């Protein structure tokens, strides 16, 4: 059977089980394959590790993606994974494969974008490697973060928890559509969101003062990532559709695109916002604290007993609708 036949999610679940059987027994391994990042104990510290690739023709096209932004984004998506585990960034490595036809100026921009993102998120750029690529350009970033004491995983959600999302959703997906369809301008806020994601790492000190039960970053769309969190927690997720935060920028882009904003917010992906499961009694306080800090957050639903990993939408009239979709490579 081919990977395309079994599909990405089943393939990854199967792989994680195989690897966990072989390495999961080690007491130094606190979180193994299958979450946003791994957690390993190093002396008195808990180190959080994550890796992500940006591949030409898969994640981006060179004509849409300035080199600076590619460097920025490669770093930012790894910072997003660290944030979702509750880890502050420590350092980062960048593995870059090139055709060799790139100019020094283009590669300076790539590394400047990566270095600026590292500085933005208080992360040291400590090394990497360069190589010839068979075809196209790709950038793989590995980030290492630290947690003090506790960390968050996808699996800690409890029955009755509220689901809170930071920021607003769907803008990056709208930005990608604007680029694909050559609609609007290069300065559209949605295009910027697609090219230079800003994971809510600044919220970490504040969020760590609450007892979050579970967290995941929204990289493949709210529905798919809510499903992952719910599945890992053995629960189902309910999403109150009218609550899903849609920005003015998204609505304007969707007018240009003649597209409904809600599906982009639900399944578009590349939001790099945080989805958290918090006890019902804490939810309002978390939202208020984030707002007072200058950020934004919304209670968009809850977790409950049911089919693990199912995601149920509730429309304006409260009618349930089973949700699916999201970005999967295979």
Contacts to its own copies from residues 59-88, by CB under 8 A:
59
Q: Is 319 in the site for its own copies (CB under 8 A)?
A: no
- Closest approach of its own copies to the CB of residue 111, in Å: 6
Q: In 3D, which of 68, 53, 66, 196 has the Cα closest to residue 138? A: 53
Q: Collapse the DSSP code of 156 into the 3-class scheme (helix H, G, I; strand E, B; otherwise coil) and give the result.
A: coil
Of these, 17, 69, 89, 107, which contacts its own copies (CB under 8 A)? 107
Q: Which stretch binds its own copies (CB under 8 A): 12-20, 233-241, 246-254, 289-297?
A: 12-20
By CB under 8 A, residue 256 contacts its own copies: no
Among 208, 304, 314, 329, binds its own copies (CB under 8 A): 329
Contact 38, 49 (CB under 8 A): yes
Residue 57: CB minimum distance to its own copies, A: 4
CB-nearer residue toward its own copies: 112 or 252: 112
Q: Smallest distance, Å, CB 132 to its own copies?
A: 4
- Buried b or exposed e, range 156-195, using 16+ CB within 10 angstroms: bbbeebbbbbbbbbbbbbbbbbbbeeeebeeebbbbbbbb
Of 144 and 164, the one with the shorter C-beta distance to its own copies is 144
Q: For its own copies, which stretch binds (CB under 8 A), given 33-41, 209-217, 250-258, 264-272?
A: 33-41
Q: Binding to its own copies (CB under 8 A): which residues in 181-200?
A: none
Interacting span for its own copies (CB under 8 A) from 51-59, 192-200, 252-260, 312-320: 51-59
| CA dihedral for 243, 246, 251, 257, sign (positive or negative) | negative
Sheet containing 45-55: order of strands: 29-31, 38-42, 45-55, 138-147, 88-98, 124-132
CB 159 within 8 A of CB 303: yes
Stretch of 21-29, 173-181, 205-213, 236-244 lying at the interface with its own copies (CB under 8 A): 21-29
Report the residue number, 119 or 285, with the smaller CB distance to its own copies: 119
Site for its own copies in 211-250 (CB under 8 A): none
- Closer residue to its own copies, CB minimum distance, 1 or 182: 1
Give CA angle at 24 (21, 26), nearest 5°.
130
Q: How far apart are CA 164 and CA 273, in angstroms?
A: 10
Chain positions 112 to 171 lying near its own copies, rule: CB under 8 A, are 115, 118-119, 124-136, 138, 140, 142, 144, 146
Cα 58 to its chain centre, rounded Å, is: 17
What three-state secondary structure class fits 34?
coil
In the complex with its own copies, the residue whose CB is nearer, 91 or 241, is: 91
With vertex at residue 268, the alpha carbon angle to CA 325 and CA 291, rounded to the nearest 5 degrees, is 115
CB neighbourhood size of 9 (10 A): 18
By CB under 8 A, residue 180 contacts its own copies: no
Instruction: Tell me the closest approach of the beta carbon of residue 74 to its own copies, in angstroms.
Output: 12
Question: Which residue, 227 or 249, is less far from its own copies as judged by CB?
Answer: 227
Helix (H, G, I), strand (E, B), or coil: what is residue 61? coil
Which tokens is 173 given? 């997906």
Nearest approach in angstroms of CB 6 to its own copies is 6
Instruction: Out of 13, 29, 158, 296, name the contact with its own copies by CB under 8 A.
Output: 29
Nearer residue to its own copies within complex by CB, 126 or 285: 126
Buried b (16+ CB within 10 A) or exposed e, 264-290: bbbbbbbbbbbbbbbeeebbeebbebb
Contacts of its own copies in 286-315 (CB under 8 A): none
């Amino acid at each position: 059977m081919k990977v395309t036949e079994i599909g990405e999610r089943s393939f990854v679940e199967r792989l994680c089980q195989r690897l966990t059987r072989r390495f999961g027994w080690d007491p130094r391994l606190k979180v193994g394959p299958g979450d946003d990042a791994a957690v390993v104990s190093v002396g008195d510290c808990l180190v959080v590790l994550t890796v992500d690739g940006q591949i030409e023709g898969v994640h981006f096209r060179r004509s849409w993606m300035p080199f600076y932004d590619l460097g920025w984004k490669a770093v930012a998506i790894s910072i997003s994974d660290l944030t979702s585990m509750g880890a502050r960034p420590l350092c980062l490595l960048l593995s870059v494969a090139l055709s060799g036809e790139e100019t020094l100026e283009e590669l300076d921009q790539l590394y400047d974008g990566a270095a600026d993102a590292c500085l933005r998120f208080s992360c040291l750029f400590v090394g990497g490697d360069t190589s010839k690529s068979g075809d196209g350009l790709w950038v793989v970033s590995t980030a290492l973060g630290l947690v003090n004491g506790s960390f968050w995983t996808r699996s800690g959600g409890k029955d009755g928890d509220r689901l809170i999302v930071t920021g607003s959703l769907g803008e990056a997906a709208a930005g990608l559509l604007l680029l694909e369809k050559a609609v609007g301008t290069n300065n559209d806020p949605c295009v910027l969101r697609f090219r230079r994601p800003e994971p809510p790492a600044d919220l970490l000190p504040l969020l760590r003062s609450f007892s979050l039960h579970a967290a995941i970053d929204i990289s493949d769309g709210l529905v798919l990532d809510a499903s992952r969190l719910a599945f890992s927690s053995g629960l189902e997720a309910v999403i109150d559709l009218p609550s899903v935060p849609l920005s003015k920028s998204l609505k304007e882009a969707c007018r240009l695109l003649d597209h409904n904003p809600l599906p982009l917010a639900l399944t578009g992906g590349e939001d790099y916002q945080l989805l958290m499961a918090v006890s019902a009694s804490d939810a309002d306080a978390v939202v208020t604290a984030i707002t007072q800090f200058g950020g934004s957050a919304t209670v968009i639903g809850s977790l409950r007993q049911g089919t693990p990993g199912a995601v149920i939408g509730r429309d304006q009239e409260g009618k349930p609708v089973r949700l699916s979709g999201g970005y999967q490579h295979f």
